[in-house]
Structure 1
């Protein structure tokens, strides 16, 4: 509603400008079009955040009518199509956005996340690398977290650890990076740091099937029977049909 009001106020001010000037139409000026386009993009993103993807397309289409190459409008529309599980359309608009703004770390990171979802891991890694090159990007820690997760899937364990450690140096409170580091450390039989990463993860995030299985394994190593029982019970109750629960059963 606030975004809608903002858009209405914008056009009210534009109309007022027309009356005052008598012959000037702000929508024909560069500044007026830019302000309208930005307002349309924000309105579209507001609808997207509420899960209203169909309504989001209306203002985003209007933004593109003002400038079909606008990076923000294309990036927002890519997110809309990504949410609607239209990968070809999402990919097309991500590319259009990057054609206008090829070094935008936010768009590069979002595009990398989309490619990761599509299991295009090598392409995703490349986009994350490009995003990480912007040393002033405020979400750079998440880019390195994404690099680490992608490198791990690609089988580059040492590189994955390097990226995840970098992510945690930039921001210690990243649950995904902490869980991944706990998993990698456990696999390397570095049980004390694995437990430290795991404990930090547990303070920041709810448990999932993967983390509960790792919790069981760590508790077994440290002979904490109460935690073994607790994590096992949570796996059974919350994730009975998962591969993690079947793995838990096979290890008991």
Structure 2
């Protein structure tokens, strides 16, 4: 945050209450640049509250940002995220649509797609991710392709999912979810060597595995007759996730 924005952030909270003078040269709110600085300061404050799990506190600064600039896409998007967090889907969608009415920024498209995925509206989610992916200069494009792949899986399109997930890894190899999904896809299609490579890369990347990844590791160990690894993963699955479906599958297929 610039020094000017820090100044504005402090002043807007006490606007017209002695923090600023009445002269245009000293009152940042009387210039277009100053108003935009204030808007951004309010947005930053609102997003800060949201990141720390305080959506109610985020609303006030975001409302103030919109009072200054009613069509500010970033503030509208942030309010959509607030209502999404609060499980108010109708309001969340309303504000996502308002934000997209002002800007087709790929970040907004991506977040809207994530909201639609959360609502199990997979075709709609995929369409938003596809639009977001068209911006080839977007810095987080790999995440979009990963989300497209996961959504394609929900739509029962494994070939399309594989294509998107591989694209995501070409853009950014550091994506454990994409690696795990590709492990699963390769295992199901009996492409065991790629499955082992994907799984090894995933295992190197994560500090602790979950029930699903351990079960995939067990299945791969069985394919390659690696009994020590199978036993190790099986013990972890039993100890950490005894109530999981994966542990039940392990037991039903000969595990202890």
Instruction: Quote the Cα distance in structure 2 between the aligned partners of 1:42 and 1:188.
Output: 46
Instruction: Quote the Cα distance in structure 2 between the aligned partners of 1:16 and 1:62.
Output: 17
21 and 153 in structure 1: CA distance in 2 versus 1, 3 angstrom threshold: closer
Q: Which residue matches 2:226?
A: 224
Instruction: Quote the Cα distance in structure 2 between the aligned partners of 1:4 and 1:239.
Output: 47
112 and 78 in structure 1: CA distance in 2 versus 1, 3 angstrom threshold: same
Shift of residue 12, structure 1, vs aligned partner: 8.4
List alignment gaps of at least 5 residues for structure 2: none
Give matches, 1:103-252, under 5 Å. Answer: 103-205=104-206, 206-252=208-254
Q: Which residue matches 1:56?
A: 58
List alignment gaps of at least 5 residues for structure 1: none
1:81 to 49, 58, 83: 83
For residues 28-72 of structure 1, give each alpha carbon's deviation from its aligned partner in whole angstroms, at most 9, with x where no partner exists.
Answer: 433222111111000001111111111111101111112222110
Q: CA RMSD in A?
A: 2.4
User: Any conservation in 1 of the 2:11–2:19 contact (CA below 8 Å)?
Assistant: no
229 and 70 in structure 1: CA distance in 2 versus 1, 3 angstrom threshold: same
User: Any conservation in 1 of the 2:8–2:38 contact (CA below 8 Å)?
Assistant: no
Q: Which residue matches 1:90?
A: 92
Shift of residue 87, structure 1, vs aligned partner: 1.5
Shift of residue 237, structure 1, vs aligned partner: 1.8
Higher helix share: 1
Q: Which moved more, 1:10-19 or 1:168-177?
A: 10-19
TM-score normalised per structure 1: 0.91
User: Any conservation in 1 of the 2:237–2:247 contact (CA below 8 Å)?
Assistant: yes
SS of match in other structure, 2:218: helix
27 and 204 in structure 1: CA distance in 2 versus 1, 3 angstrom threshold: same
Instruction: Quote the Cα distance in structure 1 between the aligned partners of 2:6 and 2:220.
Output: 51
User: Any conservation in 2 of the 1:18–1:26 contact (CA below 8 Å)?
Assistant: no
Q: Which moved more, 1:2-11 or 1:136-145?
A: 2-11
TM-score normalised per structure 2: 0.90
User: Any conservation in 2 of the 1:4–1:43 contact (CA below 8 Å)?
Assistant: no
Instruction: Quote the Cα distance in structure 2 between the aligned partners of 1:117 and 1:104.
Output: 20
193 and 163 in structure 1: CA distance in 2 versus 1, 3 angstrom threshold: same
User: Any conservation in 2 of the 1:78–1:91 contact (CA below 8 Å)?
Assistant: yes
